[in-house]
């Protein structure tokens, strides 16, 4: 892996069922079981899918006109089944985007469907990874006992 391709976050337990996720740039977000205001891991997955596509679409369309409304709703069903275990299905990313009247707004509206398709088909790393699937390795790092 090179410096250009490597991505990482670190997760630290703050108490039972509560964690803080930190990135290398200093950002952090609370993660938990959903018993408080923190995000659950499934909510973070939905946010990652929607956020990734939102960034792609925003950069493409905003070159033409600044949106007057830009919102994304991401939904899905969490299921438990005997063969596949816990997982999400019926994932849906719904964009509500409006642009101002005029030629620039018309150009942005025209670019919107294509930008959504480009994000889905090749740009959004998160949804592409989910759709294509990739193995996840879970390993135990060597830990020394506390003194």
Provide the domain count of the chain.
Answer: 2
Question: Per the domain annotation, does 141 fall within a domain?
Answer: no
Instruction: Judge if 25 and 97 occupy the same domain.
Output: no
Instruction: Judge if 58 and 99 occupy the same domain.
Output: yes
Average pLDDT over residues 86-91: 95
Instruction: Judge if 85 and 105 occupy the same domain.
Output: yes
Instruction: Judge if 3 and 74 occupy the same domain.
Output: no
Question: Per the domain annotation, does 25 fall within a domain?
Answer: yes
Instruction: Judge if 12 and 58 occupy the same domain.
Output: no
Instruction: Judge if 45 and 114 occupy the same domain.
Output: yes
Summarised one tens digit per residue, pLDDT across range 90-131 is 999 999 999 999 999 999 999 999 999 999 999 999 999 999
Q: Does pLDDT of 144 surpass 80?
A: no
In 3D space, the residue among 69, 74, 113, 106 whose CA is nearest the CA of residue 93 turns out to be 74
Three-state secondary-structure class, residue 98: strand
Instruction: Judge if 56 and 79 occupy the same domain.
Output: yes
Instruction: Judge if 71 and 19 occupy the same domain.
Output: no
Domain that holds residue 67: 41-131
The CA-CA-CA angle for residues 31, 32, 35, to 5°, reads 135
Taking the CA atoms of 57, 24, 143 and 44 in sequence, report the sign of the dihedral they define.
Answer: negative
Cα atoms in the 13 Å half-sphere on the side-chain side of 60:
20
pLDDT class of 65 with cuts at 50, 70, 90: very high
d(CA 65, CA 29): 31
Provide the 8-state DSSP code for 123. I
Among 14-18, 28-32, 77-81, 142-146, the minimum mean pLDDT is found in 142-146
pTM of the model: 0.90
pLDDT score at 109: 98
d(CA 17, CA 137): 22
Q: Does pLDDT of 146 surpass 80?
A: no
């Amino acid at each position: 892996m090179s410096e250009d391709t490597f991505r990482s976050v670190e997760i630290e337990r703050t108490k039972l069922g509560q964690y803080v996720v930190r990135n290398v740039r200093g950002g952090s977000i609370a993660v938990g079981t959903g018993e408080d205001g923190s995000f659950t891991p499934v909510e973070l997955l939905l946010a990652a899918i929607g956020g990734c596509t939102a960034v792609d679409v925003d950069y493409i369309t905003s070159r033409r006109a600044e949106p007057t409304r830009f919102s994304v709703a991401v939904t899905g069903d969490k299921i438990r089944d005997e063969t596949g275990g816990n997982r999400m299905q019926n994932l849906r990313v719904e964009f509500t985007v409006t642009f101002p009247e005029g030629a620039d707004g018309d150009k942005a509206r025209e670019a919107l469907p294509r930008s959504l398709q480009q994000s889905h088909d090749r740009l959004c790393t998160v949804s592409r990874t989910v759709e294509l699937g990739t193995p996840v390795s879970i390993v135990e790092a060597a830990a020394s006992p506390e003194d």
